[in-house]
Amino acid sequence: MTINIPILLDRLCYRHPSMLVDAIIEHDAGRRLVAVKNVTVNEEFFQGHFPGAPLMPAVLMLESLSQVAAILLLQRQDAAPNARVYLRGVNDAKFRRQVVPGDRLRLEISLGRRRAALARAQAIAYVGDQIVAEAELLLGLIADRTEIDPTAIVNPRAQIGEGTTIGPYVTVGPRVRIGANCKIGASSVVDGWTEIGDETEMFPFSSIGLIPQDLKFRGEDTQLVIGRRNIFREFVTIHRGTRGGGGITRIGDRNLFMAYAHVAHDCQIGTETIFANGATLAGHVLVEDYATIGAFSGVHQFCRVGRHAFIGGYSVVTKDALPFAKTVGNRARIYGLNTIGLMRRGFPPDVISKLKRSFRYLLQSKLNTTGALQQIQRDRSLACAEVQYLLDFIRTSQRGVILRRATRRAEEVLADE
């Protein structure tokens, strides 16, 4: 097996800025490794250990030796892919002289007895020909299904779940928590105080958790919380919240965001929604479960999109879009019940019938909105949870709801399309 040790060391140092190994000078695969560490006066640990009399702490000498041992273990031919090494114990440690700035540590590791998940190593550190430290290291090995491309920049403080794959040139910030079995596509950026649930997939060039496009934002600590099994296609942008909007942008489970979709600060998105290509939410928008936002549609800030709503392509939504309804067009109008969508979702025929009759009161009767709501409430034959939710949605609206019907000409155009 051919191993490019300089590249290996570069990759390890790239992922772990606290690497205490500068170069590998000898390597006998699976048996012995010799590395060096140049101890310079600008090492961070010298600032406090000790002012005026700098010494390399003994525990850091053990850390250097343990890192070299880990490299040797991970490069065995029988090593598990993506395994991790951790220090289980130190036996017979001896420290024979002080290590000070200007010393060049030579770190020699020889592997002893080992089993599948446990290995012993003899570790000796030299300065010149003099032994400065020696110990027997007891090392454990665990399989790790996490894969991080060597070109990715993953902050050491980021938390990456088991089985997650991070692709080439990805950037992950220090306050990011990514769940298990996620996939982060090439050149994506995940930053800020961001939590991402298990089995979420981000395609290349997505941008998740960056600061909002809000001039009132002053760098305050705000969050983005994303649930499980979401899909973010290419160039999707999701921004975290603002203090004035509650501080959290929240996305539920199993949502699909197609290419170039955008979710602005402080939006709240439910479960199993679909955002088609270029669909855009302004700040503070609420999108409830099972809603669909059509391609290149925009939703004005502070609007709501109700459950099972369908927003047609190229629509502009400036008021609350009714649940269960089709809303389409520039300064969007309502096109009645989303019957096909409800049937696909398994709604019972009697519930669809009750919703249709309720929409007739709202859209076709001579009653104003208040009168229509009262009439629906009084009609006991319409009683069901879905109709009650529709009534409550309208009554609680702050911006008003879209109840303007499409013209016959618009309906003909929509049918032709």
Task: Please identify every residue annotated as catalytic.
Answer: 265-266, 283
Q: Decide: 213 and 238 in contact? Cβ < 8 Å.
A: no
Distance CA 237, CA 299 (A): 15
Which tokens go with 328?
């389409």
Beta strands in 211-368 (DSSP E): 223-226, 231-232, 237-239, 248-251, 256-257, 262-263, 268-269, 274-275, 280-281, 286-287, 292-293, 298-299, 304-305, 310-311, 316-317, 325-328, 333-337
Identify which of 238, 261, 232 has the alpha carbon closest to the alpha carbon of residue 250.
238
- Helix (H) / strand (E) containing 351: helix 349-363
* DSSP class per residue in 175-199: TEEE-TT-EE-TT-EE-SEEEE-TT
Long-range pairs of 159-168 with CB within 8 A, sequence gap ≥ 24? 161/198, 167/204
Q: Decide: 171 and 191 in contact? Cβ < 8 Å.
A: yes
- Helix (H) / strand (E) containing 12: helix 5-15
Q: Decide: 282 and 264 in contact? Cβ < 8 Å.
A: yes
Identify which of 301, 302, 329 has the alpha carbon closest to the alpha carbon of residue 315.
329
Rg, the chain, Cα only: 30
Strands 280-281 and 298-299 turn out to be: parallel
Specify the DSSP class assigned to residue 337: E
Distance CA 372, CA 403 (A): 12
Distance CA 198, CA 327 (A): 33
Q: Is the link from the previous residue into 347 a cis peptide, with omega within 30 of 0?
A: no
Q: How many CB atoms lie within 10 A of CB 329?
A: 23
Three-class DSSP category at 248: strand
